[in-house]
Structure 1
């Protein structure tokens, strides 16, 4: 059974269709990478899955239940989904430890001692054990984004959504954030990533989905999408990416 099922999802903004009939299934422990040019609908799709945007047609199911039903409890859904944005969105007046433990304590009712132990375990695993008492403005961009990822997984979500989490980083800091994501895959975390990092997508994804103009034009295993794409628009996009790297 799929952990997430997206069925014929449409989303419109001011008369413009930004998602057009998206169908996608994500199995437990699967990593799906969404690729495509800016404005192709990747971020909007992630926001719809997390109920930050309301879809105009279709349905989204999580663990077999329709979460886009008007009767669904959006807060309950978001307790089961973690999301990391392009911006770090850390609370500047709170320490790293407090940022990470806030949701477990206030939303999930975890005891402070237990929440802090879990947070310190994650910080240690991802090389930030010495940053627990620091404030976000004392951290590098890469460190802040790693904290944002840790905050999202501290509640043990069923599904983790990552929206271009390296796009705001200096290239020298990208590797450390991608390393965290790679380790999460090894632990079996189910993830959907919108990314411009083609090499990383090829390396980490179980399934790669190419979006253009709000349409999911092609999906498949990385070796197929990157080595032998079937759709001409996929081939054209990947060719543009390759040419841009050569410049």
Structure 2
């Protein structure tokens, strides 16, 4: 059974259709990468899954429940999702530990001691235990993004949504974030990732989806998408990001 099912989803902004009939299934423990040019609809699709945007047609199911039903408990749905944005969105006036434990304590009603214990376990797992009492402005960009991912993990999500999480980083900081994402995959976390980093797609994806002007034009395993794409538009995009000699 699919963990997430997207069926015929359309999203309009005024007269412009940003998503046009998207169909996609995500199985438990699967990593799906969304690639495509800026404005192709990748981030909007994630925002629809997280109910930050309402769909204009179609439906999205999470664990068999239609979460796009207007009667759904939005907060209840978001408790099962972890979303990390391009901007780190950490609270600057809170320590790393307080940033991570805020949602478990306030939303999930976890006792402070247990929330902090779990946060320290996650920080230790990802090599940031010594930063627990630091504030965001005392961290590098890569460390801030890793903390943002850990914060999303701390609530025990069924599905992680990662939206261009390396694009705001200097190149030398990208590697440490990619390493964290790889470890999440190895642990069995289900993820949808939007990215311009083709190395992420190659290394961690089970399925790569190419979006073009709001249409899911092509999907398949990374070895097929990157070596033998079916559509000329996919081939053209990959040549633009990988170099003309790579396809």
Whether TM exceeds 0.5 here: the answer is yes
Deviations 1:72-106 (A, max 9, x none): 01000000000000000000000000000000000
1:19 maps onto 2:22 in alignment: no
1:161, 1:5 → 2: CA distance?
A: 14
Alignment of 1:41-190 (within 5 A): 41-190=41-190
Task: Give the corresponding residue for 2:208.
Answer: 208
1:205, 1:78 → 2: CA distance?
A: 24
What is the CA distance between 1:200 and its match in structure 2? 1.7
1:223 maps onto 2:200 in alignment: no
What is the CA distance between 1:244 and its match in structure 2? 8.1
2:130, 2:199 → 1: CA distance?
A: 31
Deviations 1:138-192 (A, max 9, x none): 0000000000000000011000000000000000000001111100001100000
1:240 maps onto 2:245 in alignment: no
Task: Give the corresponding residue for 1:199.
Answer: 199
Q: Any runs of at least 4 consecutive aligned residues in structure 1 with deviations exceeding 6 A, and if so which?
A: none
1:224, 1:244 → 2: CA distance?
A: 17
Deviations 1:211-239 (A, max 9, x none): 01000000000000001001111011001
Unaligned 5+ runs, structure 1:
none
In 2 relative to 1, CA 201–148 (structure 1 residues): closer, same or farther, beyond 3 Å? same
2:244, 2:70 → 1: CA distance?
A: 44
What is the CA distance between 1:243 and its match in structure 2? 2.4
Count of equivalent residues? 246
What is the CA distance between 1:118 and its match in structure 2? 0.5
1:26, 1:154 → 2: CA distance?
A: 22
Q: Choose 170-179 or 234-243, whichever is displaced more.
A: 234-243
Deviations 1:196-221 (A, max 9, x none): 01122111000000001000000000
In 2 relative to 1, CA 245–54 (structure 1 residues): closer, same or farther, beyond 3 Å? farther
Deviations 1:13-65 (A, max 9, x none): 01100000000000000000000011100000000000000000000000001
Other structure's SS at 2:243 match:
helix
TM-score (norm 1): 0.98
2:245, 2:185 → 1: CA distance?
A: 27
Q: What root-mean-square deviation, in Å, do the aligned CA atoms of Structure 1 and Structure 2 show?
A: 1.1
TM-score (norm 2): 0.98
